[in-house]
Chains A and B, each alone.
Chain A
Amino acid sequence: MASVVEIREVTVAFGGLRALRGVDLDIAQGERLAVIGPNGAGKTTLFNVIAGDIAPTTGTVVIRGQDCTRRPSRHRPRLGLARTYQKARAFAGLTVRENIYLALAGHRGRHRALWRTPADRAMGDEAADVADRVWLSGQLDELAGELAHGQRRQLELAMAIATRPDVMLLDEPASGLSRGERERLVELLESFDDRLTLLLIEHDMDVAFRIAQRVVVMADGEQVMAGTPDEVRADPHVHRIYLGTEAA
């Protein structure tokens, strides 16, 4: 079966620093994959490469059979890909509804009208539905810049799920959430359609291991090991480089 995302020999160098050193990764459709690893391991950089925010220094990125190595990020939504950012970066000066609306409008490529159209109103209503799914209906008309931290993460998630992507990349969706919020997040992630391909970076092992079918462990820009949650949990090597670092 063809992979949805194929990463081949990807390296990323920031000046002298090599954030990724020859990463290979194949992600099948409908797979739930968690990427874990200590700070600075290159997890976010890997996401940036897949999402087109950074072009790899060497190597190739193929998404749904199309070579996307040098294609800028704005072509990704049309390929059915959506992402969240580790540091929530919703549009501070716009409301929750408007933020989600923009996610919808960007995906549908209709965003140059100089007046409000029925389609805009429909997208506004759709945005309200999406906000409801991430428990933000009470904040629809609040400015994103004025949301509490947890709500900002929820908005980040809303903007990713709004377009019903086929491939979703979530960068530490649980960070900074309360226990209750984490529980709700896991429930939401478990409710996704089976066909959705989900890549998850997560420091919270509990969340990562409950969602993932496969876990990739990264350290120093390289994949250290990969396996089922149980295999990874049992691996002493992982304990040393990752869980050890966490404890430190």
Chain B
Amino acid sequence: MNLRARLTGEPLALAGLVLFLILLPSLATAFFVNFVMTQTLILGLAAATIVFLSRYGGMTSLAQLLMFGIAGFMFGNAALDGGARGLNLGWHPWAAVGFAIVVTTLAAVVLGAIASRTTGIYFLMLTLVYGVIGYFVFAQIVEISGPGGITSIQRPDLLGPPVRLYYAGLLLSVLAYVGFRALRRTAFGLALQGVRDDPVRMASLGFNVPLHRTLAFVLAGFVAGLAGLLNVWWNGQIDPASISIGPTLILLIIAVIGGISSLEGAWLGAFVYVLVFTYLRDLPLVDRIGITEARFNTVIGVIVLAIMVLSPEGLTGIARRLPVRTIRKELGGTRA
């Protein structure tokens, strides 16, 4: 942990990557930027909230996609007017953004407070139940989800051109990454890690453990809500099926592929997922070897399995084991 390693190693690599991503729209095709990369950033941002809760708080949450969905639905209900599906409140887009964020955060407060007394498998199960209940709420109350979803959702003028949405995704991703990383050293972040390591001990030191867990859940819900807004702008629509159990698990899988204990892994996992999802079906001959549309999830499953067997820490775990690691060690080691 010497200063030199801090100044030269990771921040420099991050700055280089961000610069590259800023320049990407002038280097790559519009499809790659606006479809592959924007989606990667959105899913990565959402998956990062799973990693944040897991790595710092010891909580594996299956409710993050629900937060993502709540924000999307709330924006759709508030921003559209007349004739569209949903509540048609017809508000100004930025008022709708505020509304979506507030509702999502409030939902996270309530759900987080209830879940804050559980840990481990119970926390996982409880958040899975949240996801399932959330899905049924939106699927059955068509007033807020529109029969078959809310469609024709416009993004705010500021984000009109698709490449601006890419930049919004990039900006929020960088902020979330840097923010979550910085949080590690703050009073709140340290307390959260203490709660992860030994909640009983934390209580005897005077900490309110459930409150800390709740606050972490709210923060993660807020960020997942931001990702959900980007998503609904990118998609132009949202329906209950997009927050059902399948997509809920996919978000967890993205976090796991990347490495559930590293923040950067969230985006890496999202990138791999989007690549596979986008290009695998277009490879020549894939249907000859039996990979049809219907078997696509099996392929994803096999890929996940392979990564897990190769490295329980996901792709970032594999990356760390490359020879580069020895150089890093000499520089003082990394504890990302």
| Majority SS at the chain A contact face | loop
> Which of these, A77, A93, A117, contacts B205 with CB under 8 Å?
A77
Which of A97-105, A198-206, A235-243 interfaces with chain B?
Answer: A97-105
Q: A92-B197, A93-B197 are in contact. Are A114 and B206 (CB under 8 A)?
A: no
**Chain B at the A interface: SS class:** helix
Residues of chain B lying within 8 A (CB to CB) of residue A116: 185-187
- When the two chains form the complex, which single residue of B190, B193, B198, B206 contacts A107, counting CB atoms closer than 8 Å? B206
| Contact assessment for A106 and B206 in the assembled complex, using a CB-CB cutoff below 8 Å | yes
Asked if A91 CB lies within 8 Å of chain B CBs, one says yes
Residues in B neighbouring A159, C-beta threshold 8 A: 205
Residues of A within 8 A of B201 (CB): 85, 89-91
Kindly state the separation between the CA atoms of A102 and B188 in the bound complex, as whole angstroms: 10
A93-B197, A94-B193 in contact; A111/B203 too (CB < 8 A)?
Answer: no
**A contact residues around B191 at 8 Å (CB):** 102, 105-106, 111-112
Tell me if A73 is interfacial: C-beta within 8 Å of chain B. yes
Contacts of A107 in B (CB 8 A): 205-206
Determine if A27 is an interface residue (Cβ-Cβ < 8 Å): no
Tell me whether B202 is interfacial, beta carbon within 8 Å. yes
Q: Are A114 and B205 in contact (CB under 8 A)?
A: no
Q: How far is the CA of A94 from the CA of B182 in the complex (A)?
A: 15
Given contacts A85-B201, A111-B207, contact A91 B215 (CB under 8 A): no
Pair A113/B205 contact, Cβ less than 8 Å: no
Q: How many A-B residue pairs have CB under 8 A?
A: 90
Considering residues B182, B197, B200, which has the most beta carbons from chain A within 10 angstroms of its beta carbon? B197
What is the size category of the interface that chain B forms with chain A? 20 to 34
State whether the Cβ of A74 lies closer than 8 Å to any Cβ in chain B: yes
Q: How large is the interface on A (under 10, 10 to 19, 20 to 34, 35 or more residues)?
A: 35 or more
Contact A98 B206 (CB under 8 A): no
B129 to nearest A CB, angstroms? 27
Contacts of A93 in B (CB 8 A): 193, 196-197
A115 at the interface (CB under 8 A from B): yes
A105 pairs with B187, CB closer than 8 A: yes
Among B1, B187, B197, which residue has its beta carbon within 8 angstroms of that of A91?
B197
B187's partner among A75, A83, A94, A111 (CB-CB below 8 A) is A111
- B183 within 8 Å of A by Cβ? yes
Which of these, A92, A102, A112, contacts B202 with CB under 8 Å? A102
26 A–B pairs (Cβ distance < 8 Å), ordered by A: A53-B203, A73-B200, A74-B204, A74-B205, A74-B206, A75-B206, A76-B204, A76-B206, A90-B201, A91-B201, A92-B197, A93-B196, A94-B193, A98-B190, A102-B191, A102-B194, A105-B187, A105-B190, A111-B187, A111-B188, A111-B190, A111-B191, A112-B188, A114-B183, A114-B188, A141-B1
| Nearest 8 A/B pairs, CB to CB | A106-B205, A106-B206, A77-B206, A91-B197, A73-B204, A111-B191, A74-B203, A113-B187
Given contacts A107-B206, A114-B186, A141-B1, 4 further A-B contacts (CB under 8 A): A74-B209, A106-B191, A106-B207, A110-B187
Instruction: Give A residues with C-beta under 8 Å from B.
Output: 51-53, 72-78, 83, 85, 89-94, 98, 101-103, 105-107, 109-117, 120, 141, 159
